[in-house]
Copies of this chain bind each other. A is one copy, B any other.
């Protein structure tokens, strides 16, 4: 891993959007409208969540849009008596795939979530056809606790299942 993960700053947005946009437009992995506006994406990804991080090449000029290779958020998944469980979303840029960045962000997010006091991490909708992601989260200690039948409209596969995945964070 030659990449650095650090807290998001507002000037990172163009680079973050460059990472998110093709993934959202493709509509194969995220329950996000494929025609989402940049403003709504910014609201959803960096304004509403509690923490947002970016991964970048070390030494990259941070003003260069090309510097951002991935991003993730942490938010509280349910309110009140459910607020000890967090939810995260991760996106890796096309050109950074295969370098272990998703896994590195997953590990990073668990440490950050523990530090913030969360006891569990839940992924609410992992598209079943996204088998690479499912395997990756399993390798990182997440269980498929349930499968939602036909809960995702895949652009080429039609209605496909989605998994709810969960990890208790207590044991590191």
* Measured CA separation A146–B149 after assembly (Å): 12
A168 contacts partner chain B, Cβ-Cβ < 8 Å: yes
A164 contacts partner chain B, Cβ-Cβ < 8 Å: yes
Of residues 118 through 165 on chain A, the ones whose CB sits less than 8 Å from some CB of chain B are 119-120, 122, 124-125, 144-155, 159, 162, 164
* Measured CA separation A33–B84 after assembly (Å): 12
Of residues 26 through 52 on chain A, the ones whose CB sits less than 8 Å from some CB of chain B are 27, 30-34, 36
A81 contacts partner chain B, Cβ-Cβ < 8 Å: yes
Q: How many residues of A contact B (CB 8 A)?
A: 38
Expressed in whole angstroms, the minimum distance between the Cβ of A36 and any Cβ of chain B is 7
Expressed in whole angstroms, the minimum distance between the Cβ of A2 and any Cβ of chain B is 33
B81, A154: Cβ atoms under 8 Å? Answer: yes
Question: Would A147 and B148 be within 8 Å (CB), given that A33-B79, A82-B162, A164-B164 are in contact?
Answer: no
Find A119's partner among B24, B150, B154 (CB 8 Å cutoff): B150
Q: Which residues on the B side are within 8 Å of A154 (C-beta)?
A: 81
Nearest 9 pairs of A and B residues by beta carbon: A146-B146, A31-B82, A31-B78, A33-B80, A145-B146, A81-B153, A32-B80, A146-B164, A85-B151
Interface of A toward B, CB cutoff 8 Å: 24, 27, 30-34, 36, 78-85, 119-120, 122, 124-125, 144-155, 159, 162, 164, 166, 168
